[in-house]
Structure 1
Amino acid sequence: MKKLSFVFLIMLGSLNGYSQVFNLVEELRKGKLEFVHRQNDKFGLNNIKISKGSGEGLVWLRNKKLKTGTIEVDIKGEDVFQKSFVGIAFNGQNDSTYEAIYFRPFNFHATDSVRRIHAVQYIAHPKYTWKHLREFRNAEFEKGIKNAPDPNGWFHAKIVVLPTSVTVYVDNKQEPSLVVNRLVSNKKGTIGLFLGDGSGGEYKNLNIY
């Protein structure tokens, strides 16, 4: 009976809009994506490609906020050293205050062991940049990815946001690639696509629940 009740609650949550699947192309056409320091490059049937640019870029989903929950998305970067930083921003309070999980595909299969452990990263801007965290809390907020995906291909990311922690899974693996304690208070904030300095990227199949 308990299992049936749990399944019913999940189904009820989906029916009430707690689970939302976003076709990013449709969101773009409806004007529901807000680009910050980036532009739309091109799009396919259900994927969008975001232009490269200087500084960090964001693409906010207008009117979509999350306090806790799960974000799933398919992402495609490229194996170009220091030119591919792709991920998801959340808890967005404005264009400079947000948390993010992002990936460095060019480090997925790096022969340098130090680079390999810099594959997936948590940040909390404006204070806790990757530079600050690497200098003062090295190896705590970035990790390698076991059996990492093709750095030039699509990969699936699942980001579980809880009040005090964030857990990241890659390509539906049961073992997480990154588990961190959040560095800022748990607020309801905007969700967006994140791109690091000099980086563009492709995204599709965004699911929030």
Structure 2
Amino acid sequence: MGGAALTMVSASALAAPRSAVGTGLEAEAIRAIGVETARTAYEGRPALRALALENAPGLDRLVVLDTPAFGDGVIEAWISGAPSATASATARGFVGVAFRVRDEDRLEAIYLRPTNGRADDQLRRNHAVQYISHPDHTWERLRAEAPAKYETYVDLVPGRWTHVRIVVKGSKAQLHVDGAEQPTLIVGDLKHGADAKGAVALWIGPGTLAHFSGARVTS
């Protein structure tokens, strides 16, 4: 994947919203879009608390990391999501990672639906992990045009820390969950193409209270 350019955003760094954060290389900024952020401690980790704002414009709620343009590489983070106190009955605690982000509304993302992980209904369980490519390929379109291709099951618990590792190369992305050697989800046709580049961001869905810690980007 070329020369190793590493950006490490520590747990304490991610807990410093809209200000300088230490990456191990230099001070970097994070920028919240449609999200209210705060520094906190959560489940034994210093973390960034991110609450999705109601009625936020656009498809995506993001915390954008000020790292070099990302094309191919590896993104790792500890993430946790649960429905917020004011969430609707359809909220699932949506939380994940976006990559190759451009213009705030052009991105690829892989996210979790934590309340689906141990649902009593098998169909809901099968929707625990989701790939999207905005603005054109929403989850609704992908599910309608290619059922089961861009989503799958993984064991999840709302509010619990989950480690995600996303490996991106060309038009392919793989998601590894909680240290698993084998990928949980394989996307072989990233919709923005093999040469797309952009920012890396933490992704939050509507009606979600999320926490993030220990983000690491290698390219």
The answer on whether the counterparts of 2:66 and 2:199 sit within 8 Å (CA) in structure 1 is yes
CA positional deviation for 1:62: 2.2
| Structure 1 CA distance for aligned equivalents of residues 39 and 107 of structure 2 | 26
**What pairs up with 1:1-209 in 2 under 5 angstroms?**
13=4, 18-23=5-10, 24-26=14-16, 28-30=18-20, 32-44=29-41, 46-54=46-54, 55=56, 56-78=60-82, 82-145=91-154, 148-181=155-188, 182-185=190-193, 186-209=195-218
Give SS of 1:132's match.
Answer: helix
User: Structure 2 counterpart of 1:116, which letter?
Assistant: R
Deviation per residue, 1:18-41 (Å, 9 max, x gap): 122102135743171111111213
TM-score w.r.t. the length of structure 1 is: 0.85
CA positional deviation for 1:46: 3.3
User: Structure 2 counterpart of 1:64, which letter?
Assistant: P
Identical-residue share of aligned pairs (%): 28
User: Structure 2 counterpart of 1:33, which letter?
Assistant: I
Give SS of 2:208's match.
Answer: coil
Give SS of 2:147's match.
Answer: coil
Total equivalences in the alignment = 194
| Structure 1 CA distance for aligned equivalents of residues 152 and 138 of structure 2 | 15
Unaligned 5+ residue runs, structure 2?
22-28, 85-89
The answer on whether the counterparts of 1:109 and 1:151 sit within 8 Å (CA) in structure 2 is no
The answer on whether the counterparts of 1:42 and 1:50 sit within 8 Å (CA) in structure 2 is no
| Structure 2 CA distance for aligned equivalents of residues 27 and 188 of structure 1 | 24
The answer on whether the counterparts of 2:174 and 2:185 sit within 8 Å (CA) in structure 1 is yes
| Structure 1 CA distance for aligned equivalents of residues 110 and 200 of structure 2 | 11
Deviation per residue, 1:109-154 (Å, 9 max, x gap): 1110000010111110000000110111111100001xx1433210
TM-score w.r.t. the length of structure 2 is: 0.81
User: Structure 2 counterpart of 1:117, which letter?
Assistant: N
CA positional deviation for 1:79: 6.4
| Structure 2 CA distance for aligned equivalents of residues 141 and 40 of structure 1 | 29
Unaligned 5+ residue runs, structure 1?
1-9
| Structure 2 CA distance for aligned equivalents of residues 41 and 51 of structure 1 | 9
Higher helix share: 1
Runs of 4+ in 1 over 4 A off after TM superposition: none
